[in-house]
């Protein structure tokens, strides 16, 4: 029997994502001037106020206020009428030094035996629904949000748009798990009060979503099988409450790490519960989740299975994983059990925290770009980033983004698992 599955995304102006971006911008600033910094930063945003808290161990000092204000303004909160803007919001700094008890578990012996920064389990997932091996529901939800942000920043169409928005995409699947069609698209977008009549204002936004936003989304899709999911019977739900003027941190308090399903796989696969943003790579919540995605994506791309979930678990202070688990959902193409595939993974991939840092180049200031529109399924590329500070010299650094998305182990996997090209 067929079934429906939905995934949501949120814009960079959503209050939780504002918090994530401030936390990761601070992390990047530390890493730009101290590659060995240990950072765990949390941010809260609300009406006219930002609270930054957490633990840091670093040889350098950075200007948190400048970074937070710059990030907020780049997102688009630049007007006092939003009740939250980068120039006038108050900023409280409550950061203190990392606990010695935690640090002793991480730095305990040789560099290669660096222990995990915490216990826990991390998941990676991949499937062949899209060209980037992500669930199609989440991939489309992210694309809708990125495109809406592009339209807002261009300032030529839908000029009433404000930074806060959400999307949700529902797809009908066949009984064997193959996407068939999109049934529902939900778009909720904050907007100016550009008309005295609420019904007329909503009708304008609905029409623009259908005839400006969605056509631009479809123009960016290069996969014929994904384009084929669009049809004439899609139900569009636009600003279902009827009005969305009050939004952003003024409408809803934002917190770092409160959009972990948006950050990962949109409800497909699994999530270990640990947030990513604001944490350096000694925290396996982040680094091991990236490593698990790298493994799952390369495995699916190599033809091991159409879909794969990889779980890695750690104990605080210990380098080697406690366990590695694989689930191919009955969609494996190799003559091995899932346990045997997990055993192969343990031999092919070094999952000690320091090895993950090295292989995925996680000591770069590469994290702000991850903090909106998902950490997985993004484009691996090298960009030039410039950092300024009142305490340090200006630095321009070439940074490789989304290293965990590289398909650099496909040939080795095929050789090890005896898969023919």
Residue 175 confidence (pLDDT) above 90: yes
- Of the candidates 361, 363, 372, 365, the one whose C-alpha atom is nearest the C-alpha of residue 405 is 361
Residue 104 confidence (pLDDT) above 60: no
16 belongs to an annotated ligand binding site: yes
Contact of 383 with 401, CB cutoff 8 Å: yes
166 belongs to an annotated ligand binding site: yes
pLDDT, tens digit (0-9, with 9 covering 90-100), for 369-395: 999 999 999 999 999 999 998 888 899
164 belongs to an annotated ligand binding site: yes
Helices 338-348 and 284-301, axial angle in degrees (round to 10):
110
Q: Across all residues in the chain, what is the average pLDDT?
A: 95
SS3 of residue 188 by DSSP: strand
The domain locations on the chain are 3-9+137-246, 16-113, 120-127+283-416
Check residue 358 and give its pLDDT: 96
pLDDT, tens digit (0-9, with 9 covering 90-100), for 211-225: 999 999 999 999 999
Check residue 114 and give its pLDDT: 77
55 belongs to an annotated ligand binding site: yes
Check residue 99 and give its pLDDT: 62
State what percent of residues in the chain have pLDDT above 70.
96
331 belongs to an annotated ligand binding site: no
Mean pLDDT for the stretch of residues 96-102:
67
165 belongs to an annotated ligand binding site: yes
Q: How confident is the model at residue 170 (pLDDT cuts 50, 70, 90)?
A: very high
317 vs 292, residue with greater confidence: 292
Check residue 420 and give its pLDDT: 80
Write down the pTM of the prediction: 0.95
In angstroms, the CA 93 to CA 83 distance is 20
Q: Put the strands of the sheet holding 323-327 in their side by side order.
A: 120-127, 307-314, 323-327
Q: How confident is the model at residue 29 (pLDDT cuts 50, 70, 90)?
A: very high
258 belongs to an annotated ligand binding site: yes
Determine whether 175 is exposed, middle or buried from the number of CB atoms within 10 Å of its CB (0-12, 13-18, 19+): exposed
SS3 of residue 414 by DSSP: helix
259 belongs to an annotated ligand binding site: yes
Fold of the domain built from segment(s) 3-9+137-246: GMP Synthetase; Chain A, domain 3 (3.30.300)
Check residue 48 and give its pLDDT: 96
pLDDT, tens digit (0-9, with 9 covering 90-100), for 299-345: 999 999 999 999 999 999 888 999 999 999 999 999 999 999 999 99
In angstroms, the CA 418 to CA 421 distance is 10
42 belongs to an annotated ligand binding site: yes
230 belongs to an annotated ligand binding site: no
Check residue 1 and give its pLDDT: 81
Residue 107 confidence (pLDDT) above 60: no
Contact of 285 with 274, CB cutoff 8 Å: yes
In angstroms, the CA 85 to CA 64 distance is 16
In angstroms, the CA 276 to CA 273 distance is 10
Fold of the domain built from segment(s) 16-113: GMP Synthetase; Chain A, domain 3 (3.30.300)
120-127+283-416 — its CATH code? Answer: 3.30.300.10
120-127+283-416 and 3-9+137-246 share a CATH fold: yes
pLDDT, tens digit (0-9, with 9 covering 90-100), for 110-150: 666 677 777 899 999 999 999 999 999 999 999 999 999 99
Q: Put the strands of the sheet holding 3-10 in their side by side order.
A: 3-10, 161-173, 179-191, 235-238
């Amino acid at each position: 029997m067929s079934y429906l599955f939905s995934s949501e995304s949120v814009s960079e102006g959503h209050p939780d994502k504002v918090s994530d971006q401030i936390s990761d911008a601070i992390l990047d600033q530390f890493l730009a001037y101290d590659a060995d910094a240990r950072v765990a930063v949390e941010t809260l945003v609300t009406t006219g106020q930002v609270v930054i808290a957490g633990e840091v161990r670093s040889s350098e000092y950075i200007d948190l206020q400048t970074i937070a204000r710059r990030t907020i303004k780049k997102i688009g909160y630049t007007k006092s009428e939003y009740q939250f803007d980068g120039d006038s919001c108050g900023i409280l700094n409550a950061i203190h030094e990392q606990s010695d008890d935690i640090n002793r578990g991480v730095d305990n012996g040789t560099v290669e035996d660096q222990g995990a920064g915490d216990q826990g389990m991390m998941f990676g997932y991949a499937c062949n629904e899209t060209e980037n091996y992500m669930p199609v529901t989440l991939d489309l939800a992210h694309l809708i949000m990125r495109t809406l942000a592009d339209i807002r920043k261009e300032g030529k169409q839908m000029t009433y748009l404000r930074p806060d928005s959400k999307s949700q995409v529902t797809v009908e699947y066949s009984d064997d798990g193959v996407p068939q069609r999109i049934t529902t698209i939900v778009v909720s977008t904050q907007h100016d009060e550009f008309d005295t009549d609420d019904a007329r204002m909503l009708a304008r936004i609905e029409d623009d979503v259908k005839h400006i936003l969605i056509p631009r989304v479809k123009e960016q899709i290069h996969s014929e099988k994904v384009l084929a999911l669009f049809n004439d019977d899609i139900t569009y739900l636009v600003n279902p409450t009827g009005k969305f003027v009050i939004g952003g941190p003024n409408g809803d308090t934002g917190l770092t790490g409160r959009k972990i399903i948006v950050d990962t796989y949109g409800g497909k696969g699994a999530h270990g519960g640990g947030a990513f943003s604001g944490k350096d790579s000694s925290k396996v919540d982040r680094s091991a989740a990236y490593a698990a995605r790298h493994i799952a994506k390369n495995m699916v791309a190599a033809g091991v299975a159409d879909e794969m979930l990889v779980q890695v678990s750690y104990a605080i202070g210990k380098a080697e994983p406690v366990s590695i688990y694989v689930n191919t959902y009955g969609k494996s193409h190799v003559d091995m059990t899932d346990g045997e595939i997990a055993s192969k993974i343990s031999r092919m991939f070094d999952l000690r925290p320091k090895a993950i840092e090295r292989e995925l180049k996680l000591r770069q200031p590469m994290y702000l770009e991850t903090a909106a529109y998902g950490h997985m399924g993004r484009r691996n590329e090298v960009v030039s980033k410039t950092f300024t500070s009142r305490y340090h010299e200006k630095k321009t650094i070439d940074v490789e983004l989304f290293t965990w998305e590289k398909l650099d182990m496909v040939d080795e996997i095929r050789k090890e698992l005896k898969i023919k090209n």
